[in-house]
Amino acid sequence: MTNVFNLSKAGKKDAITAFRNARTSSESFQSNAVRFYEFYREHPEVLEGIIQMFMRLAAADGVLKHEEDQLIQCASSVFGIDQTRYQQLRIPFLNGKAEVSDLEKCYAVLGCAKNATDLQIKSCYRKLATRYHPDTIVAKDLPEEFIQFANRKMQDIQDAYETLKAERGFS
């Protein structure tokens, strides 16, 4: 959580409390995911960030286990993230199971297929750049920790786009 959202001490404490409460709750994982979705449904970037955080936590031991993947996929479904996008979000965490090239990671960051046209890649980039642009995030009045996360995410998006532009030779 600290690395993904760059949480302050108080923010980290709140996040740990929320996760502990969810873990010890008599409610199902899916019920907790639904409640989280209801709170953040207008912020898809937060929802994707949570899925990425779940994956990072699950893969911290070097392996994304099947049971962990199923739970994360459940949350992803509740959050309205389609299967294609879910698979793209997983790619950076699969190094223990399969070799994933840097270019594949770039396509995954942008949310587009390897066989996408240059125009489709540009469209994916613009969509994400609009969603994660610092001005857009600040206007949503989200916590400072998420603004910092979004800035890092925007840098990843920019880096992926620049890599693909150079690889494919378009401008």
Range with lowest mean pLDDT among 75-84, 96-105, 161-170: 96-105
pLDDT above 70: residue 151: yes
Q: What is the pLDDT of residue 58?
A: 84
User: Per CATH, the architecture of 110-171 is what?
Assistant: Orthogonal Bundle (1.10)
Q: How confident is the model at residue 97 (pLDDT cuts 50, 70, 90)?
A: very low
Looking at the chain, the domain(s) classified CATH 1.10.287 span 110-171
The CA distances from residue 78 to 67, 75, 105, 152, in Å, are 17, 5, 24, 25
* Residues 128-138 pLDDT 10s: 999 888 888 88
Q: Which pair of tokens denotes residue 156?
A: 């990843």
**Per-residue pLDDT tens digits for 46-90:** 888 889 888 888 888 777 888 889 999 999 999 999 998 898 888
Q: Read out DSSP for the chain?
A: -HHHH---HHHHHHHHHHHHHHHH-SS-HHHHHHHHHHHHTT-HHHHHHHHHHHHHHHGGGS---HHHHHHHHHHHHHTT--HHHHHHHHGGG-TTTS---HHHHHHHHHT--TT--HHHHHHHHHHHHHHH-HHHHHHTT--HHHHHHHHHHHHHHHHHHHHHHHHHT--
- The highest-confidence range among 23-27, 67-71, 163-167, by mean pLDDT, is 163-167
Mean pLDDT score across all residues of the chain: 84
pLDDT tens digits for range 108-124: 899 998 999 999 999 99
More confident residue, 17 or 95: 17
